[in-house]
């Protein structure tokens, strides 16, 4: 059994992988030199092949990968009956799931979103088998080709990485299977995607422990905006997946404050993360923080943002942050920032 969790952190991508992607573009009739020229990247195909540029930065590779995958997907879809799902549509799917409460709800909403596209985004569904869950991604290809394989791999692994990012925890996948024969060298696919794949499956999908389905979504909208600048084409990144418990709690508390909803108790938080209250406290101690400290930091950070809006009164800011009145807010803010809310607002506006 092969576990797929996260990859070693890399800052550059070997030029050979960029050349391999560009070769697949050439194989479907594209012109790699024109692709590079259009992107205005600071190297040519000859530079990559000749070793003058031994590696690409993460950003340059993501830009190149996006352009190559767009051409490959267009070719794969021409052999079928549906046009491709656009990048804007994939981004919108991500925006639709960011406010879900649990991973199970994320998958359900993503499946509904794809169904609305009438086959262009394929079909998604979740199957539970005891302690395991299987995420399925069926695409409607008229013919199985290497270009379709690459596009479906990036699509399937994008969901795996997105799901892990949303819950702030790397998801262990027991098997990642593709509904294709092995149309490309396995070592090339591993170097490119860092996943060990199984082939000739009845459907694209991956199996993972079902307990992840109850994990809460701990990311914020603002974080998603940053993620989508490169995702899912930043294939070598690992920082999109893991998150400390303190960071996850910070996002949950911040979300509750912005929605003016009650902040969960320690017991409720522990239940959300499926651990005991004692384990919850111990993990926070290991990260050298506490719920009280996290709440205070969230209140301070949100107060700083709210005070930048001159239309909000101090009473409204106090209510947003959960204080009993404006005086209690003033005392707390002065202890945080060393200045009154009024002085701070005058200084920043």
Q: What average pLDDT score do residues 54-62 get?
A: 92
Predicted confidence at residue 3, as pLDDT, reads 45
Question: What's the CA gap between 178 and 189, in Å, rounded?
Answer: 12
Those residues whose C-beta lies under 8 Å from the C-beta of residue 116, and which sit 6 or more positions away, are none
Condensed to tens digits (0 to 9), the pLDDT of residues 302-314 reads 999 999 999 999 9
Does residue 293 carry a pLDDT above 80?
A: yes
Predicted confidence at residue 81, as pLDDT, reads 74
Q: How confident is the model at residue 8 (pLDDT cuts 50, 70, 90)?
A: very low
Q: How confident is the model at residue 252 (pLDDT cuts 50, 70, 90)?
A: confident
Architecture of domain 245-348: Orthogonal Bundle (1.10)
Q: What average pLDDT score do residues 226-240 get?
A: 79
Does residue 282 carry a pLDDT above 80?
A: yes
Question: What's the CA gap between 127 and 164, in Å, rounded?
Answer: 18
DSSP sequence for 183-218: -S-HHHHHHHH----B-S-SSEEEEEEGGGGGPBP-
Write down the domain spans for the chain: 12-227, 245-348
Predicted confidence at residue 239, as pLDDT, reads 53
Does residue 6 carry a pLDDT above 80?
A: no
- Please state, in angstroms and as integers, the Cα–Cα distance from residue 106 to each residue in 36, 164, 222, following that order: 36, 11, 18
Among residues 28, 69, 229, which one has the least CA distance to residue 154?
69
Predicted confidence at residue 4, as pLDDT, reads 45
Among residues 55, 45, 64, 43, which one has the least CA distance to residue 14?
55
Those residues whose C-beta lies under 8 Å from the C-beta of residue 126, and which sit 6 or more positions away, are 104, 107, 108, 111, 133, 134, 135, 136, 213
- Tell me the two tokens of residue 84: 């491709």
Does residue 147 carry a pLDDT above 90?
A: yes
Residue found under tokens 């969901």: 159
Does residue 191 carry a pLDDT above 80?
A: yes
Does residue 61 carry a pLDDT above 90?
A: yes
Q: DSSP letter at 85?
A: P
Does residue 301 carry a pLDDT above 60?
A: yes
pTM of the model: 0.75
Does residue 205 carry a pLDDT above 60?
A: yes
């Amino acid at each position: 059994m092969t576990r797929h969790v996260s990859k070693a952190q890399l800052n550059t991508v070997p030029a050979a992988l960029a050349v391999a992607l560009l070769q697949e573009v050439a194989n479907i009739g594209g012109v790699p030199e024109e692709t590079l020229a259009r992107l205005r990247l600071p190297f040519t195909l000859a530079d990559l092949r000749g070793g003058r540029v031994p590696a690409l930065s993460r950003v340059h590779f993501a830009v190149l990968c996006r352009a190559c995958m767009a051409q490959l997907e267009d070719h794969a879809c021409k052999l079928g009956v549906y046009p491709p799902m656009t990048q804007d549509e994939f981004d919108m799917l991500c925006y639709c799931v960011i406010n879900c409460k649990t991973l199970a709800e994320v998958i359900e909403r993503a499946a509904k979103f794809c169904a609305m596209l009438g086959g262009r985004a394929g079909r998604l569904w979740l199957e539970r088998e005891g302690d395991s869950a299987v995420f399925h991604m069926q695409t409607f290809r008229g013919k199985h080709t290497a270009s379709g394989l690459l596009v479906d791999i990036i699509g399937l692994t994008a969901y795996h990485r997105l799901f892990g990012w949303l819950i702030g925890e790397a998801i262990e996948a027991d098997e990642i299977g593709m509904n294709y024969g092995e149309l490309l060298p396995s070592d090339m696919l591993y170097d490119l995607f860092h996943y060990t794949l199984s082939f000739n499956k009845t459907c694209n999908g991956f199996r993972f422990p079902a307990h992840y389905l109850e994990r809460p979504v701990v990311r914020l909208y603002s974080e998603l905006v940053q993620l989508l600048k490169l995702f899912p084409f930043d294939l070598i990144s690992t920082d999109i997946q893991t998150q400390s418990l303190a960071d996850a709690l910070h996002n949950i508390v911040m979300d509750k404050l912005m929605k003016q909803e009650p902040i969960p108790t320690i017991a409720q938080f522990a239940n959300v993360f499926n651990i005991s209250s004692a384990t919850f406290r111990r993990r926070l101690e290991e990260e050298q923080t506490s719920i009280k400290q996290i709440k205070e930091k969230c209140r301070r950070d949100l107060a700083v943002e709210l005070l930048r809006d001159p239309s909000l009164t101090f009473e409204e800011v106090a209510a947003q942050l959960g204080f009993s009145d404006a005086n209690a807010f003033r005392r707390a803010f002065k202890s945080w920032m060393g200045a009154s809310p009024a002085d701070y607002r005058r200084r920043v506006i």
